[in-house]
Structure 1
Amino acid sequence: MPEPQALRNDIRNRCREIASKIDKSRPMTTDEMEVVVRQILAEMDLEEHFIGWTMVMFASEFWRDQVAAVPPSRRLFLLPHCLKHSEGCPADYDQFGLDCKTCGACSIADFRGLAEDLGYRVLVAEGSPIVLKIIVSGYVDAVVGVACLNVLEKAVDKILLAGIPCMAVPLLSDDCRNTSVDEQWVDEMIRLEYDNSTPQTCTYMHLMRASAALFDPDTLEELIPRIRGTIRIDENSNAANLAAMDPIGATEAVAYDFLSKGGKHSRPFITLATYDAMTGGQAT
C-alpha cells in the first residue's frame, strides 16, 4: 500500500491521466494493463511492489466513463464486512451477506445510506460468486466497491475477461478486522454522476446472461424436453415424492432441478462466445 495518502493521490491522478488517452473500444488484457502500470511506476520512480495496488487504480480509471454511463439504479455497491467494528456489531448475516442494522458505529451505514439514497443496490459481502450471480441475473450493469487489495488483485482478471464496468477503492490493510479505507475516495466513487454519452466498450456480459438464461426452468424444458416424466422438484417436494417415482424419472427430475439452480455456465458461455467470434459479433 503506497504511503502517505498524498502519494496515493498522485498515483491515482496519473492513472486517470493515462487512462483518459487510451482506446476504450475494447477491454484491456491483464498483460496490456500491467505494461502501462509498470511504465507509470517507473516514471514516478516507485517500487514494483505497488503494481497490484496501481493495477486496481488503473482499472478503475479505465472503466470510470463506462460506470458513469450506467444509471445509479443499475449499479451495485459492494462493501466488505470487515469495515464493521468486530466488537459489539449488532448485525446478523443472511444469504446475501451482512444485514447492517445502521447503528452508526462504523462507516458501513454511512456509505450504504448514501448509495441507497442515490438508487444503488447495496451488498455487504465478500467474494465474487454472489456478485457474479447478481450481475449475470441482469439486475445491475456496473459494480463499484470496497475490498482488500488481495481480493481486488484476484478479481482484475475476471473483470477484464468479462468486460464488467467497475471501480474499486482498496482497504488500507488486509487485517480483515476493524479495517479502514480512504473515505473521501469512496464518497467520490458513489457520487459519480450519470453520463450516458460515453461510447460502449465491448463486453461479454450479454453472452454471460444469455448462457444463464438457457437454464431458466421453462427454457430448459423447451430446449431439452423430459423423456421419463413431467414432475418438477419444487419447495414442496420431498424424498417421499421422489421415492414414489420411476427411479430413472426421479433421477431426471433431480438433474433438471440441479441444472436450473444456477452456476457459472462456463461451457455454454464459451460456446456462445465462439459463435460470436466466428460470426463477427465482436462481443457487442
Structure 2
Amino acid sequence: MKILLIGHSVFDTFLVNEKASYSPGGIYYSARQIQKLSSYDNELFIITQFDNNTKEFFMPVYSQFDSSFLEEVSAIPSVKLVVNDLEERKEVYCNFPSKLKTEKIDFSVFDAILLNMITGYDIELDDLKYIRSKTSAIIFFDVHTLSRPMNESGERIFKIIENFSEFAQNIDILQSNESEFNTLGHFDFEYERAKFLLQKGVKIILLTKGVLGAKVFFWKNDEVMSYFIAAKEINNANTVGCGDVFGASFFYNYIRNKNVYQSLSFAINKTEDFLKEKVN
C-alpha cells in the first residue's frame, strides 16, 4: 500500500503553565505515528518542508519516508504554543510558510492520502480539488488551523470557513476538534453540521472532544449514525500532538480494515499511549 502524508513541518516552543520546552511539530506527529504503525508492505511518502537549522529534529522520522517530495526552505514556521488547563491553546507564528508544491506529483499511484492543515496554508482549495480529480485514494483531511486565520500579530483566531462545503466535496474522512468543527458553516447544532457535511460528500466525520473522548458520524442505511468512545483520564497538561496521533491512528487502521468502530477504538487507545509517553 502506498501512503502519502501532506502538511507543513513547524518547530514548536511550548509554554505549558509557563514552563518552556522545544520540539519538532506539525506533520511530524502524524508522520511519526504512521511510521510506528506501518507494516513492511507499505511504501510511505511525505510532502513537507524542512530547513537546515532544525532538520536534525525531524530527519529521524522523515528519513523513514521516500524523500522525493521533501523540500528544503530557508526557514520553516516557528510556533509558540501557550498551553494551560483552562482554555484552547494559543498559537503565535513566525516565518510565514510557503504553500507546499503538489503540481507535478502523480497522485494516481497512492492508495491513501492524509492531509493535515497544520498551518492552514499547506495547500489551497484548488489543490485539493486537483488531488481529488487525479486519484481514487481515500483522502483524510484534518481541518486543524484552516479554522484559525492569522491576524496581524501572528496569532490564530477562530473564524467561519465560508466555502468549506467545497472542501467537503473532495474529502472522504474529515477530522476536527469541537472548536474547529464550529467553523465549518453556520449551524446551531452539532448534528445539523455533521449531516450537512455528509450530504456534501464526506463519508466519515471524526469529532475529537479533548479529555472526554471522540465521536464519529457516518451514513448507514440512509441515516446519520454516530458513535462515541470515552477517553481514560490521564493527567498531562501538554496535549499538543494528540489530535495528530489520533487522526493518523484512525486513518491507518481504517485503510487497513475499513471498520469505523474498530478504528475509533484503536485511535483512542493509541492517543492514550501517546499521552502516557509524554508523562513519562
Q: Could you tell me the TM-score, scaled by structure 2's length? A: 0.29
Computing the radius of gyration over CA atoms, which structure comes out larger, 1 or 2?
Answer: 1
Specify which structure has the higher proportion of strand: 2
**TM-score, with structure 1 as normaliser:** 0.29
Relative contact order, CA 8 A, sep 6+: which one is greater?
1
Structure (1/2) with the larger helix percentage: 1
